[in-house]
Amino acid sequence: MLSFKLNFKKQNKIFYFIILLFFSISINQYYGFIGLNPLDGLFIFNSGYDVLNGRFPFKDYWTLTGPFIDFIQAIFFKIFGVSWFSYVLQASTFNFIISISTFYALYKFKLNIHYCFFYALLVSILAYPSSGTPYVDHQSSFLSIIAIFCFILALKTNSKIYWLVLPIILGMAFLSKQTPAGHFILIIVFLSFVYFIFNFNIKKIIMCIFGSFIFISIFLIIISITEIPLLSFFQQYILYPLSLGESRMDFLFPLELKRIFLRFKLHHLSSLLLVIVCIKKIMENYKYLKNDEFLIIVALISSSFALIAHQLMTINGMFIFFIIPILAGFSHIYYLKYFKNKNYIKYLLIFLTISSTIHYWHKYIDKRDFADLNKVNLKNAVDAKILDSKLSGLKWITPSYPKNPKEEISKLQEVINIIKNDARNKTIVTDYQFISVILSSYDYSPNKYWFKHHVYPVKGNEYFQVYRNFFISKLKENKIEIIYTVKPLAGDSDVLETILSKNCVKKTQMTDILDSYLLLECEDLKN
């Protein structure tokens, strides 16, 4: 009889694994092919292709977004070929990873397997489909949450393997994007410090140090192989973003009730029971503050606030609602432990997760809000294969031409032909970062993507001269003769305005969306 139960449980796990695998990948593949915001939706398409062909971040182009996602995309292109399908597949794969990680974490906390599947399934609906395509904020957030899972499982199971894996996951999260990973690093380091004060265990500490050593070693090996200058990495990825800290904090403040709590009320409701448990247990016995359970609950609640802070500081659309079913799942666990006789709590949690999933799916995901397509009639979209077979299946419609995507495509085809027929060494400046990919060439762009102030320094920033020198050095190094700019550029109007003197370029309007800048002999460009 016992054997039958064990086999049945194993079969359930396999069954739910297969369902989560199929569903989480399929739903993201579906939404990843609907509509496009060129600025946000294409820069990793281009950078992944660059890495595939031996052009690397920090070395060949300026970037403040993480290299991890670029390298992973290059691997997907290598395995599955360069196409929109393999591009979206990276996001779909990570959608499965965050979903199955949620299932695993809840299961290890001994939640009924059916509920584990329920909450994980809702995560798969809300996680990556908000963007559909690979995006640094999503990747960093998902990996950060998985790091939290590692931390709480390390405390719950007393297994040392989680301490080994924890710094590796955190490292990957940080190399996806500095925030929210940086917030989670601070949370986990602080809580780990508290834990080891009361539960000193040299073997666990050594495992954590060894995990850090593994990550740093792999990082340095990749840096060495790719010949990325460490100084460039620190300037672009660490120092320059730190110089933007004050302006980014402006998005967080003022700390108003409406912005912090009312706007994210469903997030807070999903963790309310966790807060109640903490307060209740502390009031019963203050020694609960030393308990592993207290640290676990604090880690979960802190995760929510870390994501909320990141959402407020970023200029991107809403995407952090995926945390709701995760928090509700853990609330369900502690309901069973402390409020088992109050069945209404369970029903409220289930109602909350289902209703919030429907709400956020309808408002943000199905309407493609993250891509600024919420007011666009998606039925007007056309198959992007008319641009190139690599984009086959993508339902092309953008915020720039919401009523007439065929007009946009026609203009782009004209631009592509002009660039294709120009044999000179050229740089392409554009939000449409598929052009060089479909031309099977390198765009020689000094930037990963174009968004003034948020992506590269402007005049007045302490790193502007470093950036300017980098920009000009790339023009000289690659013997660039002409720069093409394809409009609209959502984040900048004239990218050369503060870089080169007026006597260095001759501007010509080629079409209504294409300008050329012929580089002339001038002091700025002298060797």
Q: What is the pLDDT of residues 284-317, one digit of tens each?
A: 999 999 999 999 999 999 999 999 999 998 867 8
Tokens of 155: 């405390």
Residue position matching structure tokens 């996602």: 69
Over residues 225-249, mean pLDDT: 87
| Side-chain half-sphere CA neighbours of 109 within 13 A | 29
CA distance 329 to 21: 19
Q: What percent of the chain has pLDDT above 90? A: 87
Give the amino acid at 9: K
Question: Under the phi-then-psi rule, with left for phi > 0, alpha for psi from -120 to 50, and beta for the rest, what region is 285?
Answer: beta
- Distance in angstroms between the alpha carbons of the first and the last residue of the chain: 82
The arithmetic mean of pLDDT across residues 492-519, rounded, is 91
Residue range 92-110: average pLDDT?
98
Q: Is 0.75 surpassed by the pTM of this model?
A: yes
Task: Give the Cα-Cα-Cα angle 127, 132, 135 (nearest 5 degrees).
Answer: 80
Confidence band (pLDDT; 50, 70, 90) for 340?
confident
Confidence at residue 2, expressed as pLDDT on a 0 to 100 scale: 46
Q: How far is residue 134's CA from residue 137's CA, in Å, rounded to a whole number? A: 9
Are the beta carbons of 193 and 208 closer than 8 angstroms? no
The DSSP bridge pattern shows strands 505-509 and 482-486 to be: unpaired
DSSP, res 54: T
Amino acid residing at 261: F
- Tokens found for residue 82: 């360069």
CB 237 within 8 A of CB 64: yes
* Residues in the chain, total: 527
What are the structural domain ranges in the chain?
A: 2-371, 403-525
**pLDDT tens-digit map of 175-230:** 999 999 999 999 999 999 999 999 999 999 999 999 999 999 999 999 999 999 99
Tell me how far apart the alpha carbons of residues 345 and 339 are, in angstroms, rounded to a whole number.
8
